[in-house]
Chains A and B, each alone.
Chain A
Amino acid sequence: MLDVEKIRADFPILSVEAYPGVPLVYLDSAASSQKPEVVLAAMDAYYRQINANVHRGIHRLSEDATNAYEAARLKIARFINAPDESQIIYVRNATEGFNLVAYSWGRQNIQAGDEILLTEMEHHANLVPWQMLAEEKGAVVRYIPFLADGTLDLSRLDGLLTERTKLFSFTAVSNVFGTINPVRQLVDAGHAVGAVVMVDAAQAVPHTAVDVQAWDCDFMTFSGHKMCGPTGIGILYGKRRLLESMPPFMGGGDMIRRVTLEGSTWNDLPWKFEAGTPSIAEGIGLGTAVDYLAGIGMDNIHAHEQFITHYALEALSEIKGITLYGPPASQRAGVATFTIQGIHPHDISEVVDKDGIAIRAGHHCAMPLHLRLNVSATARASFYLHTTTQEIDKLVASLNRTRKLFRL
């Protein structure tokens, strides 16, 4: 079990009041997580003590900055069990990870009539770049539907994966249902028809131990800001053979080996994909976040979230008029998405906010999923290593007050 009180003390923002006299109850980690003191301190120390551009200077600061930035890459590689840190490409966020693959690999490999297979539970980040690519190339996008319990309809897999499927991309964990998808099984199914398989790990890496070699995926991406790290930094992992065959995404400094007026040659991995001055402090911050999470233990974090999720789903289900979406707690990550009959999710979120409770309301960047559910919006509470059962109790009490306010 985690010592949650001790963990809470690591996060300065958790002692900030939402409103005067009203403590903050932060139940929106799936949108963006809070940052522990160690991450803030690491970024601050970079700016105060070693701030300089990376890979360019031969002075002391630039060496130190480069070393810290590259050391973070190695930590991140180990955290997801990548074979080599050269397969860890720094991007801004998961969204950029998808766009990089869609532009660089996609433009080279997708042709008219090819198929791209996604699922109906994807975040827009794993929908829009492929739709744009398909539009440009005359390719076709297909989707695996989900069942009433928010799990993928795997019986459709065989029919939807064909030799025309060139790319299969899906989320490891749904940001709305919390569903934990059977990644390895899906990767194998994709490979069986010769497809390249990409995994959206934005909601997985922050909450569970991830091993890209055990997954055997070809590409995988996630964002630093959802895993105790800063905004502006994310990771794209790729298999070496693929990364080497791909043209650069953006051109500029750092990504070249040699430039002449006639043309240029590309740098080695991973820098081939890292044009321009990168997010140095953020890379270092993410490396520290990884140390922090690894120190606590991803299995401990997952077990705590399981405990909280069980507790929350049970407590929430007592509320009159509530509909909960997604599978049973044992099959999901720390997310509870719901609607309450007669109250719009925006109104729910606004009322509970006055009790200091931050939840998300809207479509959570998954409009097709909501269209399938036939609701325009839902409310979502999401949990992390610092979430307590008292916070869940406060949410439930506040939701009951919301119902009263709306005379239900």
Chain B
Amino acid sequence: MDIYREQIIDLHEHPLNFGELETADFCHEDDNPLCGDIIRIAINLDDSGRVYQVGWTGSGCAISQAAASLLTETIKGMSLTDIQTFPPERLLDLIGVPLSQARRKCALLPLKVLQAGVSGAVSTDE
């Protein structure tokens, strides 16, 4: 039962950065229709273009929820380029439990949402 180590259950009970932002520089939402997990991430950038505020909402399994907490915590202070090049392995490392192929999709959904949101924001800037 090691995939549900204490930290995953803690984050399930008390997610980090959970909630809407009043205003956001950009936000993005996507789902994993296969399991119905849905995640929305909103971000505010500071003057130097780094993340200073992030909020997420959504519903899904404990793995996708824990991943959203861990990811949003980690990207604080990052530039958009840092986010775009954020390697999936790093998020899997943060989760720190062995995941089957099917559950990797759950774990990586928040990163997919975040990177799609950044790409959208960058392309509308140009």
Contacts and interface: CB of A to CB of B under 8 A. Distances in A.
B36 interface: yes
Interface string B47-66: 00000000000011111000
A11 B35 CA distance: 31
- Mostly, the A contact residues are mixed
Interface stretch (A37-45, A130-138, A247-255, A346-354): A346-354
A406 B36 CA distance: 20
Given A344-B61, A405-B1, A405-B4, A362 B9 contact: no
A25 to B, nearest CB: 16
Contacts of B13: 407
A370 interface: yes
B3 interface: yes
B12 interface: yes
B38 interface: yes
A370 to B, nearest CB: 7
Size range of the chain B interface in the assembly: 10 to 19
A116 interface: no
Contact of A347 (B4, B34, B59): B4
Contacts of A376: 35-38, 59-60
A346 B9 contact: no
B35 A367 contact: no
A407 B4 CA distance: 12
B114 interface: no
A367 B4 contact: no
Contact of B9 (A350, A375, A405): A405
Interface string B9-52: 10011000000000000000000011111100000000000000
Contact of A363 (B1, B36, B60, B63): B36
Given A362-B34, A362-B35, A376-B38, A347 B1 contact: no
Contacts of A362: 34-36
A377 B3 CA distance: 20
Contacts of B68: none
B4 A351 contact: yes
B104 interface: no
B59 to A, nearest CB: 7
Interface in A314-361: 343-347, 350-351, 354, 361
B111 interface: no
B36 A377 contact: yes
Contact of A354 (B1, B38, B61, B103): B1
Interface string B99-121: 00001001000000000000000
Contact of B3 (A343, A345, A350, A406): A350
21 contacts: A344-B59, A344-B62, A346-B35, A346-B61, A346-B63, A347-B4, A347-B61, A350-B3, A350-B103, A354-B1, A361-B35, A362-B35, A376-B36, A376-B38, A376-B59, A376-B60, A405-B1, A405-B4, A405-B9, A406-B4, A406-B9
Nearest 10 pairs between A and B by C-beta? A376-B36, A344-B61, A346-B61, A377-B36, A347-B62, A347-B61, A354-B1, A346-B35, A377-B35, A405-B4
